[in-house]
Structure 1
Amino acid sequence: MNLKWGVIGAGSVAQRRAMPAINKAINAELHALMSRDEVRAKQLAETHGASKYYTSVADLISDTELDAVYISTPVYMHCEPTIEAAESGLHIMCDKPMAMDVNECQRMIDACSSNGVQLQICFLFRFHSAFQQIKGWITEGRLGRVVQARMPFMKYVPKLPSDWHIDPSKSGGGSLIDLGVHSIDLFEYLIGEVVEVSAFCNSVIHNYDVDETAMLMMRFKNGGQAVTETSFTAVGSDQILEIYGTDGSVVVFNDDGWKVKTVVDGHRQVIGSQYEDLFQLQFEHFARCVSGDEQPIVSGYDGLQNMKIVTAAYESAENKKVVFV
């Protein structure tokens, strides 16, 4: 099934990642995009090969040729366009984090459910073959019982005062809600349900109104534990993911490309991992879900659960206590 896509919010991520991925996907077509500036919208449509361009959400979702929309606006503009698109019968892929709060997430899920349309969130790490392989190993019991895990996610990306990422009324938070949601989701995908959290958040370098740096500790229903560190102001390391179990461990690291190191029963192995366009993989998977050929790897419910964890984390940081999810 070939889906005709409309892109709501043709910003940096949409330009660098999403629209090129739609154009590469074997079952997708970039039909339209929306940007509030008409000159910019026209230029982007020409650059990325979109058939049409619009300057408002309402006009784009009124396009009867569309099958689905990708929402790539600032976080505070995720909820209402999702509901409007669902009510127009359009399937939706929404960027992360899903919304500003748990209530908005639930409203989005309800709208999509009642209108019979797909809702997926861009938790892209689920689509990488390395992480899917690790999930298989954990399910098979190769690592034994998972005891501890770690995923640092730090980028040195100082923000301009005008950047919506550091305006809590538009972003919902800082590095934890922007970067940490990926770590949280991958942990839930690989290890299981998070049931309690403890977090520290600060902004001591640039004094943003949001957390420029955060550390989140999680305990899972199965007894395992994990930590993720996030930052807009720290230079990241080559460590991507670490998981330690009673029978083995796995570490994903960057060394001129991702590599996966396993230690199982004393035997060490390093496996190379090729670059994969995760946006392309999700767009192709999305179309197969719409046609009924596959079940979603990620859903609106996963976005809701993710937001519950983030909300509990911020509560923990503010009140300096462990919080149950």
Structure 2
Amino acid sequence: MLIRKIYNWGIIGCGTVAEQKSGPAYQQTKGFNLIAVMRRDFDKAKDFAKRHHIPKVYAKADDLINAIDIDAVYIATPPDSHEYYALKVAKAGKICCIEKPMAPSYQSCLNITYVFKQNKLPLFVAYYRRSLPRFVKIKSWLNDNQIGRIRHLSWHFSKPANDIDLSQSYNWRTDINIAPGGYFDDLASHGLDLFAYLLGDFAKANGIAVNQQGLYSSMDAVTGNWLHTTGITGSGSWNFGTEKREDHVQIYGSQGKIKFSVFDDQPIILEHHNDSVSMKIENPENIQLYHVQSMSEYLTKGITHPSTGETATHTAWIMDQIRS
């Protein structure tokens, strides 16, 4: 890959995620220009471009992907279309970042990663928690043996059903054809990907996934167990029909414990013997900022990025193992 100073990006799917989490991050990152967007609803695409001062708007994805002034494409559509668009981006010889989850199945992720590797093109996936300062700090605690030998990680995440689900209105996030695990696919993928970053890849996993509420076609209650290649054990439970929201992770070591939340803006806590350290590390306003900046550092300086097609494919594998 030829390292350059400036890369022009286009977004396919300028919806909710691109509005606040990611779109502005591309505009704030040195070395990146966000010059084009595409959305099937052309009027909404034009409105997004006008509000965010983006010069070009496309009604067709192929036109954006093949535009000669586009160097890289960010795919921010629902997961069932990720493979379709990604293969087009690879055929056009462009750099790509795909919104998470990378695709609805492990096999689709393998297909995407293979094509980009064969074409020697950079492929990133928006598991941005690997780049957030709060989790980088936790990784430093683990690397510095602040809790001794790491033994086990547990995560419990639960929340009440959303209004859209209670009304049984259509929601692609709970359509079994797009997200077999429902909100597990959308949310748990963030945590499981983060745990691979913190503790090493997964060696094996199993789980149970059921539909308890009958509000939609995908699963709404999942439990899982796993083993990291480092010998660390893990367990998780996710339920999307409980009375209140909970998000608790604990990493147990031979000499202490680390506590944190995957999603909630809570302090990270290090407990060692009788001492306890609590740190509040704020997330950026545009939460994908550090992830996007790290992509620029890779493309302009060759600095390794933590979230690639290969790491996201591994996350897809553990998701498949737990759901099955």
Whichever residue aligns with residue 137 of structure 2, its letter is Q
Give me the whole-angstrom Cα distance separating, in 2, the residues matched to 1:152 and 1:117.
37
Cross-structure match for 2:172? 164
Cross-structure match for 2:54? 50
Whichever residue aligns with residue 76 of structure 2, its letter is S
Cα distance per residue 1:211-237 (max 9 Å; x no partner)? 122222222223322223334434322
Among 250, 269, 282, the residue aligned to 2:258: 250
Give me the whole-angstrom Cα distance separating, in 2, the residues matched to 1:67 and 1:229.
41
Give me the whole-angstrom Cα distance separating, in 2, the residues matched to 1:118 and 1:243.
33
* Residues 164, 171 of structure 1: 8 Å contact kept: yes
Describe the shift of the 1:215–1:110 C-alpha distance in structure 2 as closer, same or farther (beyond 3 A). same
Cross-structure match for 1:298? 307
Question: 1:230-269 to 2 correspondence within 5 Å?
Answer: 230-234=238-242, 235-237=244-246, 239-253=247-261, 257-269=265-277
* Residues 215, 228 of structure 1: 8 Å contact kept: yes
Identity level (%): 23
Cross-structure match for 2:297? 288
What is the count of residue pairs matched by the alignment? Answer: 313
Question: 1:119-268 to 2 correspondence within 5 Å?
Answer: 119-156=123-160, 157=162, 158-159=164-165, 160-234=168-242, 235-237=244-246, 239-253=247-261, 257-268=265-276
Describe the shift of the 1:257–1:75 C-alpha distance in structure 2 as closer, same or farther (beyond 3 A). closer
* Residues 153, 179 of structure 1: 8 Å contact kept: no
* Residues 10, 37 of structure 2: 8 Å contact kept: yes
Cross-structure match for 1:321? none
Cα distance per residue 1:271-293 (max 9 Å; x no partner)? 22122243111111111111233
Cα distance per residue 1:87-146 (max 9 Å; x no partner)? 212111111111122221122112212222211111111111121121122122222121
Deviation at 1:29, TM superposition (A): 2.1
TM-score, with length taken from structure 1: 0.89
Among 10, 19, 23, the residue aligned to 1:19: 23
Cross-structure match for 1:33? 37
Give me the whole-angstrom Cα distance separating, in 2, the residues matched to 1:26 and 1:241.
34
Give me the whole-angstrom Cα distance separating, in 2, the residues matched to 1:203 and 1:34.
35
Deviation at 1:265, TM superposition (A): 3.7
What is the DSSP-based 3-state SS (H/G/I as helix, E as strand, rest coil) of the residue aligned with 1:222? coil
Whichever residue aligns with residue 136 of structure 1, its letter is S
Query: What are structure 1's unaligned runs of at least 5 residues?
Result: 316-325
Comparing 155-164 and 40-49, the one that deviates more: 155-164
Cα distance per residue 1:43-80 (max 9 Å; x no partner)? 11111221111112101101111121111111110012
Cross-structure match for 1:278? 287
Give me the whole-angstrom Cα distance separating, in 2, the residues matched to 1:38 and 1:2.
28
* Residues 82, 108 of structure 1: 8 Å contact kept: yes
Give me the whole-angstrom Cα distance separating, in 1, the residues matched to 2:248 and 2:10.
32
Whichever residue aligns with residue 189 of structure 2, its letter is V
What is the DSSP-based 3-state SS (H/G/I as helix, E as strand, rest coil) of the residue aligned with 2:68? coil
Cα distance per residue 1:7-31 (max 9 Å; x no partner)? 1111211123111222232332221
Whichever residue aligns with residue 17 of structure 1, its letter is K
Question: 1:95-106 to 2 correspondence within 5 Å?
Answer: 95-106=99-110
Give me the whole-angstrom Cα distance separating, in 1, the residues matched to 2:231 and 2:261.
25
Give me the whole-angstrom Cα distance separating, in 2, the residues matched to 1:248 and 1:236.
26
Describe the shift of the 1:68–1:134 C-alpha distance in structure 2 as closer, same or farther (beyond 3 A). same
Whichever residue aligns with residue 251 of structure 1, its letter is K
* Residues 209, 322 of structure 2: 8 Å contact kept: no
TM-score, with length taken from structure 2: 0.90
What is the DSSP-based 3-state SS (H/G/I as helix, E as strand, rest coil) of the residue aligned with 2:63? helix
What is the DSSP-based 3-state SS (H/G/I as helix, E as strand, rest coil) of the residue aligned with 2:217? coil
Describe the shift of the 1:186–1:267 C-alpha distance in structure 2 as closer, same or farther (beyond 3 A). same
Cα distance per residue 1:164-195 (max 9 Å; x no partner)? 11222122431221111111111111112222
Q: Report 1 or 2 for greater relative contact order, CA contacts < 8 Å, sequence distance ≥ 6.
A: 2
Describe the shift of the 1:60–1:135 C-alpha distance in structure 2 as closer, same or farther (beyond 3 A). same
Give me the whole-angstrom Cα distance separating, in 1, the residues matched to 2:30 and 2:157.
31
Give me the whole-angstrom Cα distance separating, in 1, the residues matched to 2:59 and 2:261.
42
